């Protein structure tokens, strides 16, 4: 673990705890590793800080100096759950300034944006403070660095739902989708926002269908937008095959020679949908779906041939 940027950060001005007069009353506790197969090469700073941290935890000391010790420990290993948990216990015991702590963990997050523990610590602070005012901004900063940062998205969805901060979320996802139409996280957040705010009303579905079809047109092989379209129609009684905008769009794509796996999959679903509705003169007959399954299995998506053969067999059962 030696040589990390976090260790370099404190190494220059680090005064070993064993050399600090105010810590003479604490007996450090070394890590208990009996005959390790491969010993971890801890740096001297790391060993010093965590030996004293173990001693403080054993003693149960919750003081200003213990809080500073946890800060050094966090810099060395921000993924250590025990350090963050003990730090929270000290914060509560001493009634420390939680806003200052929020600023501190914000700085750690910007350096360690994919670390679960730092986001969890921040979430607890926000719950204690009941103040979500900075959360959209910090998640946006993390998402701008990595648009698919799971922890940042999870935190954003939590804070949006917890404090009903849905305003502006559709615009936020639209901006990200404009940058990268394949950003599945942005599509997922868009669905999450509508589901938990306005709901999928008829007007919302119409607007979202239009938005989605325009984005499919930009990238016809993009699974995210096709999946979003399918999700929309789960909330619409007319289904995929009953919406003229969708059927017209799909047929135009098909007639133009497009053979996207997701387009064909959609048409197959339309065939099955109309069969289940017992349409007397279906626009999407089962035979068409069966033929498309065969085309996918033998030419267009051979790697998933077994899957398409299975779907085709199910359609044949419906036909019979």
- The count of C-alpha atoms lying within 13 angstroms of the C-alpha of 187, restricted to the half-sphere facing its C-beta, is 21
User: How far, in whole angstroms, is CA 178 from its chain's centroid?
Assistant: 19
**d(Cα 292, Cα 289) in Å, to the nearest integer?**
5
Residue ranges of E strands in 73-221: none
**d(Cα 260, Cα 119) in Å, to the nearest integer?**
39
In order along the chain (320 residues), what is the average pLDDT of each group of 10 residues?
Answer: 49 82 94 70 90 97 97 95 98 97 96 95 98 97 95 98 98 97 97 97 95 97 96 87 94 97 96 88 93 97 98 93
Which CA distances in Å does 119 have to 101, 149, 316? 13, 12, 50
Q: Provide the token pair at 31.
A: 């890590």
- 8-state DSSP, 35: S
* 96: helix, strand or coil: coil
Task: Let me know the angle formed at the C-alpha of 164 by 163 and 169, rounded to the nearest 5 degrees.
Answer: 120
Per the annotation, the verdict on 114 as an active-site residue is yes
**d(Cα 42, Cα 72) in Å, to the nearest integer?**
15
Would you tell me how many other CB atoms lie within 10 Å of the CB of residue 84?
Answer: 21
CATH T-level topology, domain 166-237: 1.25.40
Would you tell me how many other CB atoms lie within 10 Å of the CB of residue 224?
Answer: 22
- The count of C-alpha atoms lying within 13 angstroms of the C-alpha of 260, restricted to the half-sphere facing its C-beta, is 21
Burial 196-223 (b: 16+ CB within 10 A, else e): ebeebeeebbeebbebbbebbeeeeebe
Candidate list 114, 161, 162, 220, residue with the active-site label: 114
Give, for 262, the enclosing helix (H) or strand (E).
helix 261-276
**d(Cα 243, Cα 241) in Å, to the nearest integer?**
6
Given this model, what pLDDT does residue 277 score? 85
Given this model, what pLDDT does residue 234 score? 87
For the stretch 213-226, pLDDT in tens is 999 999 999 999 99
Contacts of 189 (CB under 8 A, 6+ apart): 153, 156, 157, 169, 172, 173
Residue 212 backbone dihedrals phi, psi, to 5 degrees: -70, -45
User: How far, in whole angstroms, is CA 14 from its chain's centroid?
Assistant: 36
Q: Provide the token pair at 142.
A: 């993390």
Whether 253 contacts 266, CB under 8 Å: no
**d(Cα 192, Cα 162) in Å, to the nearest integer?**
13
Q: What is the pTM of this model?
A: 0.88
Residue 35 Ramachandran class (φ > 0 left, ψ -120 to 50 alpha, else beta): left
Whether 161 contacts 125, CB under 8 Å: no
Give the long-range contacts of residues 102-107, CB within 8 A, separation 24 or more: 102/126, 102/129, 102/134, 104/71, 106/134, 106/138
């Amino acid at each position: 673990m030696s040589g990390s940027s976090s260790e370099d950060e404190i190494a220059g001005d680090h005064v070993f705890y064993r050399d600090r007069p105010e810590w003479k009353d604490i007996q450090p506790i070394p890590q208990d590793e009996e005959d390790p197969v491969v010993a971890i090469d801890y740096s001297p700073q790391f060993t010093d800080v965590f030996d004293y941290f173990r001693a403080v935890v054993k003693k149960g000391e919750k003081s200003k100096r213990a809080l500073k010790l946890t800060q050094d420990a966090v810099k060395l290993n921000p993924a250590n759950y025990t350090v963050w948990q003990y730090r929270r216990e000290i914060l509560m015991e001493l009634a420390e300034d939680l806003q200052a702590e929020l600023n501190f963990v914000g700085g750690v997050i910007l350096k360690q944006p994919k670390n679960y523990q730092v986001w969890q610590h921040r979430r607890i602070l926000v719950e204690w403070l009941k103040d979500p005012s900075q959360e959209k901004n910090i998640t946006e900063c993390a998402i701008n660095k990595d648009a698919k940062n799971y922890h940042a998205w999870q935190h954003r969805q939590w804070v949006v739902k917890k404090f009903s901060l849905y305003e502006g979320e559709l615009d936020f996802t639209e901006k990200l989708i404009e940058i990268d139409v394949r950003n599945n996280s942005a599509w997922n957040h868009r669905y999450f926002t509508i589901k938990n705010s306005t709901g999928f009303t008829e007007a919302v579905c119409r607007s979202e269908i239009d938005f989605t079809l325009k984005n499919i047109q930009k990238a016809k092989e993009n699974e995210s937008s096709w999946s979003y379209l399918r999700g929309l129609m789960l909330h619409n009684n007319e289904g995929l095959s009953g919406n003229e905008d969708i059927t017209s769009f799909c047929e135009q794509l098909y007639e133009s020679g497009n053979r996207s796996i997701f387009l064909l999959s959609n048409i197959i679903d339309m065939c099955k949908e109309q069969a289940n509705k017992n349409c007397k003169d279906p626009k999407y007959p089962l035979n068409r779906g069966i033929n498309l399954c065969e085309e996918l299995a033998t030419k267009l998506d051979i790697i998933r041939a077994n899957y398409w053969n299975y779907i085709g067999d199910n359609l044949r059962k419906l036909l019979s």
